[in-house]
Structure 1
Amino acid sequence: MNAPQEESFISHLVELRDRLLRAVVAVVLVFVCLMPWAGDIYDLLALPMMANLPEGTRMIATGVVTPFFVPVKVTLLVAFVIALPFVLYQAWAFIAPGLYAHEKRLGLPLVIGSTVLFLAGMAFCYFFVFGTVFKFIAQFAPKSITPAPDIEQYLAFVMSMFVAFGITFEVPVIVILLVKIGLVDVAKLKEVRPYVIVGAFIVAAVVTPPDVVSQLMLAIPMCLLYEAGVFLARFVVKREVGVESGSA
């Protein structure tokens, strides 16, 4: 490696460090600002569960420091979500100079679209899925027991569901990207539709609790989002054909 290449490599490392540092500082600043309301933030997260517990019942904490650390973890995750646009901007500002013009046109919509869809999946899970699932479970609970969920287990459960639904809502982006880079075409996507439907229900059965309601509420949106991806992929193909015709 000659001197100019070495200097360029070092400058890229320095810029990467600076971008990461700015992203971390942004998350930390938001986290510090939210810390006085850490308990309220966890209460907001626990609201779907609390709404379906018997009147007067509360969640429990089995660890000595759990009542402190669990709200802190939730607050840190909320801070990351709030600071996510700035974090993604830092990532984009680092990689954009090395991209071609057509890659920039593809990359920025993908970053924005995937972020919005992931957050939409989390919102769908919180506002629609949790209430339905917890109500379904409460109806099947024996009358001889008093449910008292542990706050740490509840956090682990909701985080796994957030990730599952967030990734599920990325299906249209994945489908469009596969068509864009030429791995599949729209006709092939239609051909494998039955396998996708079966796969959606298998994935839902693996990543959700063992109840029919939550499995349906993951599998059905996954199938619908796949159809949305196939529909939008047609416009990607038509646009590329139009560009090629114009250039010819």
Structure 2
Amino acid sequence: MEDKELNVVDHLDELRKRLIVTVAAFLILFVVGFIYVEDIYKWFVRDLDVKLIVLGPSDIIWIYFMIATVIAVAGTIPVLATEIWLFVKPALKPIEKKVTLSYIPALFILFLVGLAFGYFVIFPTIMNFVIELGGDMVATNFTAEKYFRFIFNMTIPFGVLFELPVVLMFLTSLGIINPYQLQKIRKYAYFILIIIGVVVSPPDIMSDTLVAVPLLFLYEISVNLSKIVYKRKLKKGKQWEEEFYTEDQEEDLEKSE
């Protein structure tokens, strides 16, 4: 009983160390992002025909904190993934260690791809649609807070959700889930993804569709990739069992001789 309690304490202590490293990385990257906020801001507004306005000092503070936070989150993802891998590493088989380690750079790359997809594909499409919808009825002026909130709503969800394939592949590698379970909950997953698409997009059918459809497509990609990982896992497990069985047979023969 005491051994089990000590083991739990050791795991909690290890988890605390991993969390400290992750939080420290986030804070360092947040400071770096805060230092370069002005340059990042100018890059985002480079193609705007109008100058953004602010309605109060709090808007300026909000912009600084949000831009720095996004930079910190993006940079912390590989750190967090590495710390999670190091935490579960002792419980993994040698093959699982190699496979799961390869998912760490994939998480970071897919997050950036998701941000790029949201910013270069979804954001301009919806932005142009909304501006053309107003036409000559209203003067086009944007506050900096509203403009950047709109950008973040169109990009951050895609950055997070683009990591879905790697996360599901990782969980499949660990044996926590399998593709057949993902197929069973498909309708529930679709419902949740559609809700996410509706929440993050402006309140019109076109915007909802443009956001929701890629998310559903992403889920199907995740299921198919999970199938590939699952089949490879079964194949390697079978090979390992055959090798283990052969070694046992050889040992039995040696003993009988």
Task: Give the TM-score of the pair, scaled to structure 2.
Answer: 0.71
- Is the 1:175–1:226 Cα contact (8 Å) retained in structure 2? no
Partner of 2:150: 157
Partner of 1:90: 83
Partner of 1:31: 30
Matches of 1:175 and 1:30, distance apart in 2 = 27
- Is the 1:61–1:152 Cα contact (8 Å) retained in structure 2? yes
Q: Please, which of 81, 97, 121 is the counterpart of residue 74 of structure 2?
A: 81
- Is the 1:175–1:233 Cα contact (8 Å) retained in structure 2? yes
Matches of 2:125 and 2:119, distance apart in 1 = 10
Matches of 1:199 and 1:8, distance apart in 2 = 38
| Cα distance, 1:181 vs structure 2 | 4.1
Structure 2 gap ranges (5+): 243-257
Which residue identity lines up with residue 34 of structure 2 in the other structure? M
Partner of 1:209: 202
- Is the 1:30–1:82 Cα contact (8 Å) retained in structure 2? yes
| Cα distance, 1:15 vs structure 2 | 4.1
Matches of 2:197 and 2:153, distance apart in 1 = 12
| Cα distance, 1:9 vs structure 2 | 5.1
Aligned residues: CA RMSD: 3.7
Which residue identity lines up with residue 210 of structure 1 in the other structure? P
Matches of 2:82 and 2:168, distance apart in 1 = 24
Aligned residue for 1:65, secondary structure, equals: helix
- Matched pairs, number: 239
* More relative contact order, 1 or 2 (CA 8 Å, 6+ apart): 1
Partner of 2:126: 133
Which residue identity lines up with residue 76 of structure 1 in the other structure? T
Q: Does 1:229 align with 2:228?
A: no
| Cα distance, 1:74 vs structure 2 | 0.9
Q: Does 1:41 align with 2:40?
A: yes
Matches of 1:8 and 1:195, distance apart in 2 = 37
| Cα distance, 1:143 vs structure 2 | 1.0
1:76-134 Cα deviation digits (max 9, x unpaired): 32133224323432333233234454654564345544443233211210121111111
- Is the 1:41–1:71 Cα contact (8 Å) retained in structure 2? no
- Is the 2:78–2:107 Cα contact (8 Å) retained in structure 1? no
Q: Please, which of 54, 68, 71 is the counterpart of residue 64 of structure 2?
A: 71
- Is the 1:117–1:166 Cα contact (8 Å) retained in structure 2? yes
- Is the 2:122–2:154 Cα contact (8 Å) retained in structure 1? no
Q: Which moved more, 1:139-148 or 1:225-234?
A: 225-234
Partner of 1:185: 180
Q: Does 1:242 align with 2:235?
A: yes
- Is the 2:110–2:162 Cα contact (8 Å) retained in structure 1? yes
| Cα distance, 1:46 vs structure 2 | 4.3
| Cα distance, 1:202 vs structure 2 | 5.5
Greater Rg by CA: 2
Matches of 1:192 and 1:84, distance apart in 2 = 27
